[in-house]
Amino acid sequence: MKYIVVTGGVMSGLGKGITSASIGRILKNRGYAVTAIKIDPYINIDAGTMSPFQHGEVFVLKDGGEVDLDLGNYERFLDTELTRDHNITTGKVYQAVIEKERRGDYLGKTVQIIPHITNEIKERVRSVSRKSGADICLIEVGGTVGDIESMPFLEAVRQMHAEEAPENMLLVHVTLVPLDTQGEQKTKPTQHSVKELRQLGLQPDVIVARCREPVLPDTKAKIALFCDVPANAVVSAHDAPDIYLVPSLMESEGLADYMMKMLGLETRGNGTEWNRMIEKMGLIKKTVRVAAVGKYTHLSDSYISISESLKHAGIERGCRVEVSWLDSEEFEKKPSSISRLSEFNGVLVPGGFGARGTEGKILAIRYAREHNIPYLGLCLGMQLAVIEFARNVLHLADANSSELARTSHPVIDILPEQKSVTNLGGTMRLGDYEAVLRENSLAHRIYGTTKIVERHRHRYEVNPDYIERIEAAGMKFTASNGNRMEIAEIPSHRFFFGSQFHPEFRSRPGKPSPPFLAFVRSMLGQ
Last residue of a domain, which of 240, 268, 296?
268
* Alpha-carbon gap, residue 342 to 372, rounded angstroms: 10
Q: Is residue 47 included in any domain, yes or no?
A: yes
> Do 290 and 254 share a structural domain?
no
Cβ atoms of 189 and 226 closer than 8 Å: no
* Alpha-carbon gap, residue 409 to 401, rounded angstroms: 8
Q: What letter represents residue 54's amino acid? A: Q
Sorted by sequence, the CB contacts under 8 Å of residue 93 that are 6+ apart come out as: 117, 120, 121, 124, 152
> Do 168 and 308 share a structural domain?
no
Last residue of a domain, which of 268, 294, 313?
268
Evaluated on CA atoms 105, 111, 117, 122, the torsion sign reads negative
> Do 297 and 235 share a structural domain?
no
* Alpha-carbon gap, residue 7 to 207, rounded angstroms: 10
Range of the domain at 484: 279-523
The yes-or-no answer on residue 454 being catalytic is no
| Cα 355 versus chain centre, distance | 24
| pLDDT tens across the length of the chain (526 residues) | 999 999 998 888 888 999 999 999 999 999 999 999 999 999 988 888 777 766 689 999 999 999 999 999 999 999 999 999 999 999 999 999 999 999 999 998 999 999 999 999 999 999 999 999 999 999 999 999 989 999 999 999 999 999 999 999 999 999 999 999 898 999 999 999 999 999 999 999 999 999 999 999 999 999 999 999 999 999 999 999 999 999 999 999 999 999 999 999 999 988 888 999 999 999 999 999 999 999 877 777 889 999 999 999 999 999 999 999 999 999 999 999 999 999 999 999 999 888 999 999 999 999 999 999 999 999 999 999 999 999 999 999 999 999 999 999 999 999 876 765 555 445 689 999 999 999 999 999 999 999 999 999 999 999 999 999 999 999 999 999 999 999 999 999 999 999 999 999 999 999 999 999 999 999 999 7
Sheet containing strand 400-401, strands side by side: 400-401, 410-413, 461-462
- Taking alpha carbons only, the member of 84, 95, 78 closest to residue 48 is 84
* Alpha-carbon gap, residue 479 to 486, rounded angstroms: 5
The yes-or-no answer on residue 502 being catalytic is yes
- Catalytic, out of 137, 227, 319, 379: 379
> Do 328 and 219 share a structural domain?
no
* Alpha-carbon gap, residue 256 to 144, rounded angstroms: 24
> Do 134 and 109 share a structural domain?
yes
Element counts in the chain: helices (H) and strands (E):
19, 21
| Alpha helix (H) residue ranges in 283-379 | 304-317, 328-333, 358-370
> Do 299 and 222 share a structural domain?
no
Domain containing residue 124: CATH number? 3.40.50.300
Cβ atoms of 486 and 435 closer than 8 Å: yes
Sorted by sequence, the CB contacts under 8 Å of residue 86 that are 6+ apart come out as: 35, 36, 37, 38, 61, 65, 67, 71, 74, 128
Q: What letter represents residue 440's amino acid? A: N
pTM for the model stands at 0.94
* Alpha-carbon gap, residue 23 to 27, rounded angstroms: 6
The yes-or-no answer on residue 322 being catalytic is no
Q: Is residue 273 included in any domain, yes or no?
A: no
Domain containing residue 355: CATH number? 3.40.50.880
> Do 316 and 234 share a structural domain?
no
Count CB neighbours of 318 within 10 A.
14
Q: Is residue 274 included in any domain, yes or no?
A: no
| Cα 98 versus chain centre, distance | 30
